Structure 1
Amino acid sequence: MTLKTWQLDATHTTVGFMVRHMVVAKVHGRFTRFEGKVVVPGDDLAQGSVEVKIDASSIDTGVEQRDNHLRSPDFFDASAFPKLIFRSKRVQDAGKGHYRVVGDLTIRDVTREVVLETELLGKVKDPWGNERLAFQASTSIDRKDFGLSWNQALEAGGLLVGERVDISLDVQAVAEKAA
């Protein structure tokens, strides 16, 4: 069976997240630099594998001061731990175009298993003859599990930064052309 490799198209892919701020609000952000690939034997996505490497310093919440704090040792410590890495271990077909991608997420040299709930949006040929694969995926993590434990108690109760982080991916990948 022929393996097909799909490279993430960074211009049409979003690696985003959301975390609670001051208990009542939500802060949305994204990472702007990453690379990744999906390798599939034939057309059987359930037999495929995924690997993504994200540049920790590319975090963007729209507020420079907050982004610099997130790059600091209080959070990602991007100079010491420059990459966030996801490597799949298995893909489970959940039916009707849905998959559970089970893999290891590494942040700050701490690795934990996560499950990406994934929906295949489709496969098309673009106007330039490239095959494209599109999907959405999401998961939630507890940031403390990865050593991201900085916080501040609020006078009215609760914490400044929520512990749960919702991760969302909107992905387009382009098939490598056969040699």
Structure 2
Amino acid sequence: MKKTLLSTALLTSVLSSAVLMSAGASATDYVIDTQGAHASIDFKVSHLGYSFVVGRFNEFEGDFSFDGKKLADGHVNVTIKTASLDSNHAERDKHLRSADFLNTATFPQASFKSTTIVDKGEGNFLLNGDFTLNGVTKPLTIQAKTIGEGQDPWGGYRAGFSGSAEFALKDYDIKMDLGPASSHVQLAIVVEGIRQ
């Protein structure tokens, strides 16, 4: 009898904890839809102050957690294959992958892991996190905006965002110096996720 009462109490305690955890965790998990090419990470760098080099990373993956009513409960994780850099110029891409810039042979991945999300209202938010590039990890803030969420035609549910950020090459131990006009990289990010 005691064993039965103990088992019942233990089961009740576990179930109660599960319900409380479920009630507290309102954010929903999504996987970034890179397979359908509904996400992108683009970059732009001034070329000597005369024009711009623009490109993208063709291979990355990630996930995020999102609750439109409580953005601060969310999080984002993204991993980028640095060798997938593509500026539409083979010789330049080879140089950008070299030790002068991204050093992709030694550091084949870059990553972003969010630390906090600050809701700025009307779907705008600051996504703060740790950005790792060229073996260096530094804080990075992405200014982001909710694009929308809802059902898709295939029975799934999606949510999407856009964002932008800027960082200095020297902050990530990139030694190549093309002058002050080319010292910073601008990122433009579009993310669409499929709810899991």
Give the TM-score normalised by structure 2: 0.82
Distance across 1 between alignment mates of 2:39 and 2:87: 16
Distance across 2 between alignment mates of 1:161 and 1:53: 28
For 1:46-72, what per-residue CA distance to the aligned partner results, in whole angstroms no more than 9, with x for missing partners? 211100000000000000111111111
Higher mean C-alpha deviation, range 108-117 or range 37-46: 37-46
For 1:43-101, what per-residue CA distance to the aligned partner results, in whole angstroms no more than 9, with x for missing partners? 52221110000000000000011111111111111111011110000001000000100
Residue 137 of structure 2 corresponds to: 111
Which structure: greater strand fraction?
A: 1
Residue 92 of structure 2 corresponds to: 66
Which structure: greater helix fraction?
A: 2
The 8 Å contact of residues 21 and 160 in structure 1, kept in 2 or not, is answered as: no
Give the TM-score normalised by structure 1: 0.90
1 or 2 for the larger relative contact order (CA 8 Å, sep ≥6)? 1
Structure 2 counterpart of 1:9, which letter? D
Structure 1 counterpart of 2:33, which letter? D
The answer for unaligned runs of 5 or more in structure 1 is 153-158
The 8 Å contact of residues 16 and 31 in structure 1, kept in 2 or not, is answered as: yes
Matches within 5 A, 1:138-157: 138-152=164-178
The answer for unaligned runs of 5 or more in structure 2 is 1-22
Matches within 5 A, 1:85-124: 85-124=111-150
Residue 26 of structure 1 corresponds to: 52
Please report how far the alpha carbon of residue 150 of structure 1 lies from its aligned counterpart in structure 2 after TM superposition.
0.7
Structure 2 counterpart of 1:167, which letter? L
Distance across 2 between alignment mates of 1:23 and 1:68: 22
- Where does structure 1 differ by over 4 angstroms across 4 or more consecutive aligned residues? none
Distance across 2 between alignment mates of 1:132 and 1:41: 12
Distance across 2 between alignment mates of 1:161 and 1:103: 26
Residue 191 of structure 2 corresponds to: 171
The 8 Å contact of residues 20 and 162 in structure 1, kept in 2 or not, is answered as: yes
Distance across 2 between alignment mates of 1:92 and 1:75: 32
1:52 aligns with 2:78: yes
Distance across 1 between alignment mates of 2:68 and 2:122: 19
Please report how far the alpha carbon of residue 41 of structure 1 lies from its aligned counterpart in structure 2 after TM superposition.
6.0
Structure 1 counterpart of 2:118, which letter? Q
1:7 equivalent among 8, 17, 31: 31
Matches within 5 A, 1:121-132: 121-132=147-158
